[in-house]
Amino acid sequence: MPTPILDFDALAQAISRRTVLCIGDIMLDEFVYGEVSRISPEAPTPVIVAQRSEIHIGGAGNVARNVASLGARCVFVGLVGEDDAGGRLASALAEQGGIESVLVCDPSRPTTRKVRFVSEHFSTHMLRADWEQAVAASDDIETKLIEAILPQIARADIVLLSDYAKGVLTARVIRHTIDAARKLDKPVIVDPKSLNWAIYRGATLLTPNRKEFAEATRSRADTPQSIVDASEDVMRLADCEAILVTQGEHGMTLVPRNGEAVHVPAFPVKVRDVSGAGDTVAAALAVSLATGADWDTALRMANAAAAVAVSKQGTASVSAAELRQKILPHAYLAAEEKIVLAPGALDAQLAEWKRQGLRVGFTNGCFDILHPGHVKVLTAARAACDRLIVGLNSDASVRRLKGPERPVQDERARAEVLAALEAVDLVVIFEEDTPIDLITRIKPSALVKGGDYTREQVVGHEVVEAAGGTVVLVDILQGFSTTALVHRARGGDN
């Protein structure tokens, strides 16, 4: 039986109304990228000439980042030291949209910090240096963590425990959290590190990787069936509803306490970096299950999210738009991939086209009801360049320009119709009355409008010509007008 198409847009809307309480070990992830130039004379080790560095919120903090980037709200509770790394993490969390952080400070320990040295050319990790104190929080800090966690549970739709064995998720903290969540009928997901799964008793779902599962169950766990066979006893021990075992390039196996096990193969992707992939899986499961989605839907979301994460460099977060592109069938995505949804996607695409030496053209309009006149302009515009970007007035912009009864179709519908045209390479929705800001950002080689405009009337002509581009006016096709079509459709005169 074929897998049904997931109604991703409806799920994404539901996710945007959910809150995930994420608790765990946060860390500062630093990536130093450079070229391996020689072997050190002091020791037979590669010398990396550093060229750039990046800082990411890592560990359980990366789970929180992924929850927010997938569209849900996240309340995060974690532990930091009284040091520079802790301050940097607090600042980074404060700047991260969609995350409300509650950080407990422990002056007796350093903030966990990991620095990875990576060969830029080969995308290979050469060395990792860690600063950490991987011991359980003291009784006093445990109490502070519990006091920080318990008031947040009622606000959340689901609770996620991300255990990196750095001291936050002690047996006492785990017990208080799960018991309180169960009293309020909140599902609990645990990404476990302890081999004693009895401490997670009462959780809804455990998400170990294959190595963790094999060690906890003392099994080989090398096939989906062996995972199923080994799951029965530990599910009773942990009193959980299901176990999801992640197996890297071998996919994922979900074993529910009631029902059939499901195995999904991994997406075929070029793996760039597996750092944080487990965080992405946990976040995707949490936001899906928070909406009341079934196991199959949550599993498909998590599997697709993992594929996006490992194709990125560094500790990566996955956006809802990226997940949508990965999870939906390719035939459905042909138009969707052309619509700019994610922040930064336009700049990234422009940079890639520039790298390829392609000429970028631009035209714009409301395109409320697409008619042959529009098609002629768009086809002629594409002929004047290698890649055509269409600026589309938002719904609010159309109302200001055309009146309160327009647009007839909302901006998403108009964008999808435009993106389905072969002549169109990218659709960008803009909120202003004119596309001048968008034109200034793109600086197209060709700015195209219908021949009912003069060159001087075309918005942005000065910007384009100053950058060495040209304005192209296309003869309009007589007899076609969106306003006239709307008037006729509403019963007006011909």
Annotated binding site: 209-212
CA distance 369 to 485: 8
Q: Whose structure tokens read 């990790």?
A: 125
Task: Give the neighbor-by-neighbor strand order of the sheet with 426-430.
Answer: 426-430, 387-393, 360-365, 446-450, 470-474
What pairs with residue 117 in β-bridges? 32, 127
One-letter amino acid at 218 equals R
CA distance 445 to 424: 16
Q: Which of 25, 279, 368, 425 is catalytic?
A: 279
- Asked, as a colleague might, if the bond just before 407 is cis with ω within 30 of 0, I would say yes
Q: How far is CA 36 from CA 46, 49, 119, 275, in A?
A: 6, 6, 6, 21
Residue 279 known to be catalytic:
yes
Neighbours of 475 (CB within 10 A): 11
Question: Shortest CA distance to 222 belongs to which of 213, 262, 261?
Answer: 213
Eight-state DSSP code of residue 416: H
CA distance 119 to 399: 52
DSSP E strand stretches across 239-329: 242-246, 252-256, 262-264
Q: Which long-range contacts (CB under 8 A, 24 or more apart) does 221-225 make?
A: 221/245, 224/253, 224/261, 224/263
Q: Is 160 helix (H, G, I), strand (E, B) or coil?
A: strand
Find out whether 54 and 81 touch, Cβ atoms under 8 Å.
no
- The binding site for ATP consists of 209-212
What pairs with residue 55 in β-bridges? 30
CA distance 217 to 195: 8
Catalytic residue numbers read 279
